[in-house]
Amino acid sequence: MTPDGNRQLDPGAVGLGLRRALLGPLQTAESGDFDFLECAPENWIGVGGRFGEALQALSSRHPLVCHGLTLSLGGVAPLDETFLQRVRRFLELHRVPLYSEHLSYCSDDGQLYDLLPIPFTEEAVHHVAARIRRTQDIVGRRIAVENVSYYAPAPADRGQPALSEIDFINAVLGEADCDLLLDVNNIFVNAINHRYDASAFLAALPSERIAYIHVAGHYDEADDLKVDTHGAPVKDAVWALLGEAYRIHGLRPTLLERDFNFPPYAELVGELATIRKLIDDASPNHARRAHA
């Protein structure tokens, strides 16, 4: 269910989020700084002028993946199928190999501008899976859904037994027949906030479903409270969990997310180099060299 003509990503590819604040450095970047870019289609569909020209120039030189913000897969309002048709045209125009969305909801009689958790119930599994399948039909491809951070679980309706987070995610992936965008920082944040084992959670995810990976920074509110911000450097413990993800599931294209509080571009390139080092350490060739 992947359209012909899209540029595929190497499992060892390293990417950076396409943000307007970074347009200048991205346009003048050295070859090899990054292998692909990621954008939110909502922020770019229909954009013309110098920003539209910049996007076209960048997507002509670098593979572009898309990560949606507003589809509200867990919501109760009907899917915006007109918007999804526009997304499909955008994906085809830029030969996008991967389109992902959040396993959450963000609307209720209008946009809530936050990613809110879905109740972990069988009823919610069926509801969300049906909406994912419909989304895939409209955009003409498999999509990936991202495991999200949350700070309080959504309450289940009376009489609806709750699933664990990992069982909910795996049930949605299976029933929807979709892929997973594995966000390593979200696992780390949730594991601290909800007191479970990040490594066990990571190992329980299905390797064959993982399309690509996100890694990002977070804010340490307290030892037992982490806030997923995408506005800080990646922490050492998250880097370690990313390396563990490669060892358990194999290499996947990996994207560094940074949404605000941007450092000098060279610092972002340094974080991309850390990803490359972890990929190299986990690669079969590295293992053979180490034992040579």
Kindly state the tokens that stand for 152: 């309080």
pLDDT digits (tens, 9 = 90+) for 218-228: 988 989 988 88
Contact 63, 97 (CB under 8 A): yes
Please list the alpha-helical segments (H only) found in 152-222. 165-176, 184-194, 198-203
Kindly report the backbone phi and psi dihedral angles of residue 229, in degrees, each rounded to the nearest multiple of 5, phi listed first.
-110, -30
Confidence label for 107 from pLDDT (cuts 50, 70 and 90): very low
Full-model pTM: 0.92
Hey, what domains does the chain have and what are their CATH numbers? 14-27+34-290 (3.20.20.150)
**Residue 289 predicted with pLDDT over 50:** no
**Dihedral angle computed from the Cα positions of residues 42, 104, 72 and 99, in that order, rounded to the nearest 10 degrees:** 50
**Residue 288 predicted with pLDDT over 60:** no
pLDDT digits (tens, 9 = 90+) for 117-157: 788 999 999 999 999 999 999 999 999 999 998 877 777 77
- Crossing angle of helices 165-176 and 122-139, in 10° steps, is 40
pLDDT at 75: 86
